[in-house]
Structure 1
Amino acid sequence: MNAIGHKRCSLCSSYRLFSSSVQWISPLDYYQSSNYPRPDAPIEIDGTAEQVRRKRKYISHESAVSLIKREKDAKRALEIFNKVSDQKGFNHNNSTYAVLLHRLAVCKKFEKVDAVIHQMKYETCKFNEGVFTNLMKHYSKSSFHEKVVEMFDAILPIVRDKPSLNAISTCLNLLIEAKQIELAKEFLLNVQKRLDLKPNTCIFNILVKYHCRTGDVEAAFEVLEEMRKSRVSHPNLITYSTLMDGLCRCGRLQEAIDLFEKMLAEDQIPPDALTYNILINAFCRAGKVDRARKIIEFMRKNGCQPNIVNYTALMNGFCREGRVGNAKEIFHEMKGAGLTPDVVGYTTLINSFCRAGKVDEGIELLEEMKDQGCKADDVTVKIILGGLCRASRSSEAFDMLERLPYDGVRLSKESYRIVLNFLCKEGELEKAMELLGLMLARRFVPHFAMSNELLVQLCEAGKAADAALALFGLLEMGFKPEPKTWSMLIDVICRERKLLPAFQLLDELVLQ
């Protein structure tokens, strides 16, 4: 057996000894191994709608809606829609169109959406604008912002009625949330011209948010004055909260406090936990965490119980100042108030511990999360892994990577990369090779630069067989190394007078 073949077996054997639960296997042979059977092909069910039609003499609108809702495949949902329309005397209504369009939009079959909407223009049934507000949201999530306006424009010809203020508010808000400011301005001008718009409180609030997002707080206050003059709207808690947040983000904290007091004194609007949180965050950003803590006390005295978001914001403030002890006090105070910390609250404190070099306390909190049924996410795990690596505890980080998936925690490739980067940086190449085997077995590929770096380090350390084994595993996952890496690896193997492995590498190079 040649050196590379021997090292390949050596790597497999060493990894089996390291982990009894996960066996290293070449990704190319992943589904060929008896331990990892190829998943069954999806069962094709032809003529789903036709079978349903034979089983039932007549499909009502309610049954059609139910069938389309249950169908996850957009093509089959469309087939059901078309088949039921073949029934004598059956005409689709708002409900069947709505559920079909929703299914198509969820599956991102937007070209089919356009075709169905075109068909709706020739229907005689009564449609509801909710069909189109729902589509606006789907298009906004998919970053087709012009289509958001297009869906709004479809309301009048298809619903055959003027769009409501709710539809206008939805469209305008989606555009502003997506930071499509110019499109939002153009939309609002067109609506005012075509529909003789008289804005309500909701639309005024969206305009306030729009000006605050662009940093033009003075223009936002002009909208506030327009609201006061209007007979159909008046400022509410959302108006004031948005303005306060705009002032705080511009560094005008005292003006935000003055506006808060004005809201209480003049309009007699009681603040909620979200409004208080704006001030808590503002004080924390300004380095006045102790004043932010007093807001929590003020809330309790005025009948507004602080929530998890308030406590987490305060903990963040203390953590940014390196006051881990105070952050821990707030954490226990939150639990003492009967609140169960969420993943954000736990992660905030864990991050603080790890940055202060108290990784063990962070791990204790991770175990507490598990006991409390609060599932750690990838962000939490990356913080712990980073803390362990900074403390030169790479073996524990490796063990955690191997174990966590079996505890139900979904890891991303970034989690593996944190540890691999550290191992390469510290020159722990044997451990790096073990981690590479684990990553490839789980279908994760290291970062391009890090893969090249690992191969170069293995060559420089004279570990030609390890480098070749790592390279073949990476190639099977689609990795293409830099020409310099190829050259270095072939040079090292040739110097060891291993000509057959060199020819194998050259064959791989030709195939790239």
Structure 2
Amino acid sequence: MVPWISTHQYIRANPPTESLAEIPKKSKYISHESAIKLIKREKDPHRVLKLFKMVANQKGFNHNHSTYAVTLHKLACLKEFEHVDSVLHQMTYETCRFHESIFINLMAHFSKSSLHNRVVEMFNAIQPIVREKPSLKAISTCLNLLVDSNQIGLARSFLLHTKTTLGLHPNTCILNILVKHHCKNGNLESAFDVVKEMKLSDASYPNLITYSTLMDGLCEKGRLEEAINLFEEMVSKEKIIPDALTYNILINGFCRGGKVDRAIKIVDFMKKNGCNPNVFNYSTLMNGFCKEGNLLEAKRVFIEMKDEGLHLDKIGYTTFINCLCRAGEIDEAIGFLKEMEEKDHITCNIILVGLCKYDRTYEALEMLQRLAYEDVYLDKCSYRIVLNSLCKLGDLQKATGLVGVMASRGFLPHFATSNELLVGLCEGGSVVDAAMVLAVLVQMRFNPEPRVWSRLVEVMCRERRLLATFELVDMLTKDGVN
């Protein structure tokens, strides 16, 4: 029989060569990939910096482009720009190779924060740290951010700097950004001045995008004849072949200008010159006919689209369904809705509006209920369209039921509709329903007009519902209604 030996006796008889505290714990080495994952997960800027410094203290570890990139991106997202500057300063002492993408990303962050001078600073930091001249992509990104922020003076001085200091000459893509900006602001004369400068160099000579942008600017101003003349100059003189997008600018311009007959000629010209109209071209033309109230021609264009073997997408169907609904052909519109492979709330809302407009509100309500079970996403507008129509009809019972459905799906009715529904219920003697509706709406942060809830309290007091009145007042004051 083996004698029992206590733990204390065993340890005294066999003392350990070293204590547990003295046994070194094997530390886990954090690789670059692991460091990147850890930094990406962090939401606290101080912990981001702590992680960044901690991994750098590991033996044999040196930060690379990727760890710097993710750290700077994270700090910039958190708007910790002082910390961004300290990390950038550290980069100047690193020997690893960096890519300009870090600075392009930071340009976007500074632009979003309206720190426009910092956008240029990030561009200027590329050459000292990356040790290469910035690419044309970096120039176009910086210029585009400045132009979109309406920093035209800064944009022009930036371009001058790239020419004189860096010896970088802007190409067509870069100068197209300036053309786009001037056209967007309606300053077409300045846009044409830029194009004159572009023609002085082969590297920046105007291309299809340049002319398309100018034509779009002219069409926006209603200068359609000038747009056509520019189109002819582009084709005959510059030998630039237009694409479907360029044609669509002219088609849209003439349709909006009430000259659909000219738009048809553009489409015919497209076909004769080997550029087959696409869904967008036909949809634009259909819209033009719809605005004129010419449903017959809109149908002809729709049928032609199908005959051409074009795969009708949501844009094509939605445009045509909108034409039908405007003309009161609701049943036909519903028929085409059933043809659609992917139904969306925009198309469905068009039909709901059409049904309500032509006194078919109950059909709209039925459609609303049915679509919810057919995997069609409906937005708050879908429910508001029908609710507004029910209130106008005075069917407060169905309106009350629909408010309950909306609340269960997180949709709040229009402010005015909610107030009118509550007043209508009060005046119709449905005080209990009014109180119930108000309770539901207040939970969704609805703040009724003072006249509405004071009217409700008045009616409830008159009907001697004192307890319910006190509860209602308590609920309203507790939720900050005054």
- On whether the aligned pair clears a TM of 0.5, the verdict is yes
- The answer as to whether partners of 1:68 and 1:99 remain within 8 angstroms in 2 is no
Greater shift in the superposed pair: 458-467 or 94-103: 94-103
- Shift of the 189–409 alpha-carbon distance from structure 1 to 2, 3 Å rule, reads farther
Question: Which piece of structure 1 moves more, 168-177 or 130-139?
Answer: 130-139
Structure 1 residues 167-182: aligned runs within 5 Å:
167-181=138-152
**Counterpart residue number, 1:122:** 90
User: Within 5 Å, which residues of 2 pair with 1:236-385?
Assistant: 236-369=207-340, 372=341, 374-376=342-344, 378-385=345-352
Equivalent residues of 1:299, 1:305 under 8 A apart: yes
**How far apart, in 1, do the equivalents of 2:150 and 2:373 lie?**
41
Residues 151 and 318 of structure 1, relative CA distance in 2, 3 Å threshold: farther
Cα distance between partner residues in 1 of 2:82 and 2:310: 47
Amino acid at match of 1:163: P
1:110 aligns with 2:79: yes
TM alignment of 1:54-453, pairs within 5 A: 59=31, 61=32, 67=37, 74=43, 78=48, 84-102=55-73, 108-111=77-80, 115-116=83-84, 118-123=86-91, 124=94, 125-137=96-108, 148-181=119-152, 184-185=155-156, 187-188=158-159, 191=162, 194-195=165-166, 197-369=168-340, 372=341, 374-376=342-344, 378-453=345-420
Compute the displacement of 1:440 (Å). Answer: 1.0
CA contact (8 A) 1:68 1:100 kept: no
Distance (whole Å) between structure 2 residues aligned to residue 219 and residue 253 of structure 1: 19
2-structure distance, mates of 1:402, 1:283: 41
Tell me the alpha carbon deviations over residues 252-273 of structure 1, each in whole angstroms, 9 at most, x when there is no partner.
2222222222222222111111
Deviations 1:167-187 (A, max 9, x none): 121122233345554554454
Deviations 1:88-120 (A, max 9, x none): 212222233334555666xx4232x66245313
> Shift of the alpha carbon at 1:162?
3.9
**CA separation in 2, counterparts of 1:231 and 1:167?**
21
Shift in alpha-carbon separation, 1:163–1:318, aligned structure 2, 3 A? same
Q: 1:253 corresponds to which letter in structure 2?
A: L
Find the residue that maps to 2:378 and give its secondary structure. coil
Match of 2:464 among 465, 479, 497: 497
TM-score, normalized by length of structure 2? 0.83
Tell me, in whole angstroms, the C-alpha distance in 2 between the residues paired with 1:394 and 1:403: 14
The structure number with the bigger radius of gyration is 2
Q: Letter of the aligned partner of 2:248 in structure 1?
A: N
- CA displacement at 1:302 relative to structure 2: 1.5
TM-score, length of structure 1 as denominator length: 0.79
User: Does the 8 A contact of 1:351 with 1:383 survive in 2?
Assistant: yes
Matched to 1:391, the amino acid is Y
Correspondence for 2:448: 481
Q: Which amino acid aligns with 2:352?
A: L
- Cα shift at 1:190: 5.4
SS of equivalent to 1:480: coil
Instruction: Flag the 1:381–1:279 CA change in 2: closer, same or farther, 3 A.
Output: same
**Percent of aligned pairs sharing the same letter:** 57
- Distance of 2:476 and 2:89 partners within structure 1: 58
Q: Which amino acid aligns with 2:63?
A: H
Deviates more, 1:291-300 or 1:465-474: 291-300
Contact 2:419 2:448 in 1 (8 A): yes
| Partner AA of 1:89 in structure 2 | G
What is the CA-CA distance between 1:139 and the residue it aligns to?
A: 5.4
Deviation at 1:436, TM superposition (A): 0.6
* Larger relative contact order (Cα-Cα within 8 Å, sequence gap ≥ 6): 1
| 1:454 and 2:421 aligned | yes
Count of matched residue positions in the alignment of Structure 1 and Structure 2: 449
SS of residue matched to 2:90: coil
Taking a change above 3 Å as real, the CA distance of residues 177 and 423 of structure 1, as seen in their structure-2 partners, is same
CA-CA distance at 1:433 after TM superposition: 0.1
CA contact (8 A) 2:337 2:343 kept: no
Q: State the secondary structure of the residue aligned to 1:122.
A: helix
Deviation at 1:466, TM superposition (A): 1.0
